[in-house]
Chain A
Amino acid sequence: MMILLKDIVPSAANSVNTKFILLEKGNIRASKKCVVVNGVNKLQETKECMTLVADESASVHFLLWNTECEAFEPGDIVQLTNGIFSYHRNKLVLRSGRKGKAEKVGEFTMLFVEKPNMSEVQWQANESDAKKLKESVTSTELQKPPS
């Protein structure tokens, strides 16, 4: 089920299905990690790239991973399936994760807003009905408190 960026909540589940347009792309950071594969130590190279993406409801930081880093450019419209919105290196980011997939479906022809930025929203503890109270740090827009 497709959701708008303004409705994503931090979660360990990879269930975010959404569509957005890529606004800005940061530098591609390559790093090597030592992993054990079949009892043998191997050096695994991974690439990461932080981006700012948005749809008509909000923006968020989207982390590109490995082959994704070269595949997407600002202006690309991306469809994300089974993505995950969670903390990664102390930052709240949206990413495709191991089970998700990001695919380019178009370019340019999508409207967007840059505020609120869901990665910069302060999340408070659960209410009993599992709705979170949001306080946007950067947004100058009024937000309706949950009922």
Chain B
Amino acid sequence: MNTPAVSEHRLLRAGEHEAPDPTENSLREAFALLRPRLRPPFSLRTSTPSDYHQLVLAIVYGALTAPPRTARTHLVHLHAVVTDGYDLFTRTVLRLSLESYPRLLQPARAQLLWVISELIGADAVGVDRLVVSLLRWVRIGDFSQPNLWLAEGLLRVLCVRWDWLLEEPSVLTSALFLYLRLLADHYRLASDQKVEALKELEIDFCVRVVRQHFDFCMGMGRDLVRLLQDVAFIPEFRDVWKDLLFEPRVFGVPGYSDIWQLYRTRTPVQYFLLGITPEMETRMRFLFTHVKLGNQRRYQEWFARKFLCRPECETVVVDLVRFICCAHHPPNEILRSNIIPRWAVIGWLLKSCRKNYFAANAKLALFYDWLFFDDKVDSIMNIEPAILLMLHSVPEYVGFTQELMEFLFLLIDHYDVDRKDLIAQGVLKSFDMVVRKGVVQSLDLLSTCSLISPLLKERFNVFIHGSKPEAVRDLYLSSDVKTLGGPKKSASCEKTGFSHVKGLVDHLRATMTQAGSNNLQTLGRLLVTFAKLDKQAIDKELGGNSSTI
């Protein structure tokens, strides 16, 4: 019973071979049925609940598909008849957004933003959830026009509705989370003019929120630091970052005196949902709930084709890793089953990064909770994937294990040099916790495996046991070099760094037989070490200072 005029009002994209959407159908049917009543004068008679229900559905459809002037009339009608604080209306729009945003036609999307702004103005029940759902639909790593349009349009609505936003700290901080995240990419990766206006808006918004409402921001926890660090190079943020590190009192929050307070606050799960769209979330959760290890190949291909197809899309791997580690904790039944474990999917994601920059960020995302781990505050499920990935990569992908170990040590030494000891404590606690809680039987593999470079093993042992460097070096010289097929070293070689290099060369010989693209990296490390040795040797001769390479 659709009149031709009704079918002209389209809500969702409908290809010839796409099944009709049940939600859209119920909305369109209500609209067709009640169309005569949707024109003024409006009856203010109280209706039965089911009549009200149908009327609200019809108004939803009208507000999203009619031309703007008519849509305004529909909302005036809604304001007149509403009896539940707009609850049903908002819930219906929310459902549409969560289920079907990708299929919404562009005119309907524009209307949606306008409707949201109106709902905010009317202080509608549940509009906060609606706003957050749209924040989630802004895709990270997507620089297409529709996606940038949504990012900008949504931000403009929030800026217009600033007063309301200040009364909704959860929405305010969610928006901050998203736009800080987007800024890093928009500044680094998007060079178009089209992003200029958006960048300006984002910078103004984020700086304003951090400076003026830091008390709200504190609850965001350590990932706020991670995000701010990524935009610290932007001129407007340099001072913010400096103050965060050195002048915390400038933020005017009593009780906040050091960035460590942010580090040790675990970021609430809700923020990790902002980095991935509802579509990505559905697929990820399906993978971790239903797909057996060994059967994941096709699902991974489809996921990559849809979300990681262009080079710049790799930037979202960071957010996927944070989501997997922090927002999806499988129950024990799944952990005990043969469903694909999280470490396997994270391994695939990390390896699919072709650019080092994205891979490094993804590794930071994997280890971030390790750096500040405190069992009173943190969940072991956040740190479990990393250790399992390191151990399960031996022996087939041992180069990857080494990469991860090296990166972890890099983080301990350089992530926050002033707080290096505290970070080292966090990592030690993480290692201790994963053994104590039975996530792994022991860490022996990382300290004794012959396939792992002796330097790395030494570093690991020193870190874990705090033993004297010489004692550990003896250990490696006597047993591991023999394993690698090199001659036994005499005591005189211990003093020079060349024995270390010899060990690396022997290791390189051994690893050449292994498949993997890590040979070049090993060679790279080798060359750097050579260069360092030369410099040290030269400096020692000349009595000068050694400079970092």
Contacts and interface: CB of A to CB of B under 8 A. Distances in A.
B103 to A, nearest CB: 11
Given A75-B305, A108-B282, A108-B283, 4 more contacts: A74-B298, A105-B19, A108-B286, A108-B299
A75 B307 CA distance: 13
Contacts of A75: 298, 302, 305-306
Contacts of A72: 17
A34 interface: no
A136 to B, nearest CB: 20
Contacts of B544: none
Contact of A111 (B18, B283, B290, B301): B290
B16 interface: yes
Given A23-B298, A68-B17, A109 B286 contact: yes
Nearest to B290: A111
Contacts of B17: 67-68, 71-72, 102-104
B291 interface: yes
Contacts of B283: 108-109
A79 interface: yes
B305 A74 contact: yes
Contacts of B306: 75
Nearest to A64: B17
Interface in B55-71: none
Contacts of A111: 290-291
Interface string B290-314: 1100000011011101100000000
Contacts of B16: 67, 71
B40 interface: no
Interface in B268-326: 282-283, 286, 290-291, 298-299, 301-303, 305-306
B288 to A, nearest CB: 12
A72 B16 CA distance: 11
Contacts of A23: 298
Contacts of B305: 74-75
Interface of B: 15-19, 282-283, 286, 290-291, 298-299, 301-303, 305-306
B302 A74 contact: yes
Interface in A68-121: 68, 71-72, 74-75, 79, 102-105, 107-109, 111
Nearest to B299: A108
Interface of A: 23, 67-68, 71-72, 74-75, 79, 102-105, 107-109, 111
A79 B286 contact: no
Contacts of A68: 17
Contacts of B302: 74-75, 107-108
Contacts of A109: 282-283, 286
Nearest to A79: B19
A108 B286 CA distance: 8
Nearest to B302: A75
28 contacts: A23-B298, A67-B17, A68-B17, A71-B16, A71-B17, A71-B18, A72-B17, A74-B298, A74-B302, A74-B305, A75-B302, A75-B306, A79-B19, A102-B17, A103-B17, A103-B18, A103-B19, A104-B15, A104-B18, A104-B19, A107-B302, A108-B282, A108-B286, A108-B302, A108-B303, A109-B286, A111-B290, A111-B291
Nearest to B283: A108
A115 to B, nearest CB: 12
Most A C-beta atoms less than 10 A away, residue of B18, B19, B290, B291: B19
Contacts of B291: 111
The 7 closest A-B pairs by CB, nearest first: A75-B302, A71-B17, A103-B19, A109-B286, A105-B19, A108-B283, A104-B18
B286 to A, nearest CB: 5
A67 B16 CA distance: 8
A72 B302 CA distance: 13
Contact of A74 (B19, B282, B286, B301): B301
A58 B302 CA distance: 20
Contacts of B282: 108-109
A74 B303 CA distance: 10
B289 to A, nearest CB: 10
Contacts of A67: 16-17
Given A23-B298, A108-B299, A108-B302, A71 B15 contact: yes
Nearest to B291: A111
Contacts of B15: 71, 104
Nearest to B15: A71
A39 to B, nearest CB: 30
Contacts of A103: 17-19
A25 to B, nearest CB: 11
A68 B18 CA distance: 10
B277 to A, nearest CB: 13
B300 to A, nearest CB: 11
Nearest to A103: B19
Contacts of A104: 15, 17-19
A8 to B, nearest CB: 21
Most B C-beta atoms less than 10 A away, residue of A102, A108, A111: A108
A82 to B, nearest CB: 14
Most A C-beta atoms less than 10 A away, residue of B17, B283, B298: B17
A23 B301 CA distance: 10
